[in-house]
Amino acid sequence: MEGMTEEQVQSEALERLEHIEEDLDEIRERTPSRRKAFVYGVWHGIGALVGGIVGLTLIGWLLTFLGVLPGVGELVPYLQQMVDNAQMSSQR
């Protein structure tokens, strides 16, 4: 910047600031609002949770079906009986 007049320095600085402002405007256009980003995050979390539950359930069912987890198959009728007993006692 040596050899430049004060006017040239200010003009160059102004051009750089205008370029930075254009870049920031472009970033603002591409970036969603905070509310929209929050909602996207919530839906992403819910989707991951439901997907994980479904995946683990399918893996557990498959392992039980193949006989790798034999105790799980015996647990289901026991739990069903517990639910039936609880329903009967609440109806009394």
> What is this structure's pTM?
0.47
User: Which pLDDT tens digits describe the chain residue by residue (92 residues)?
Assistant: 567 788 888 999 999 999 999 999 998 888 888 898 899 999 999 999 999 999 999 988 888 777 776 666 677 788 888 888 888 887 76
Q: Which helix (H) or strand (E) holds 81?
A: helix 70-91
pLDDT of residue 60: 82
Cβ proximity of 8 and 16 under 8 Å: no
Distance (Å, rounded) from C-alpha 69 to C-alpha 63? 6
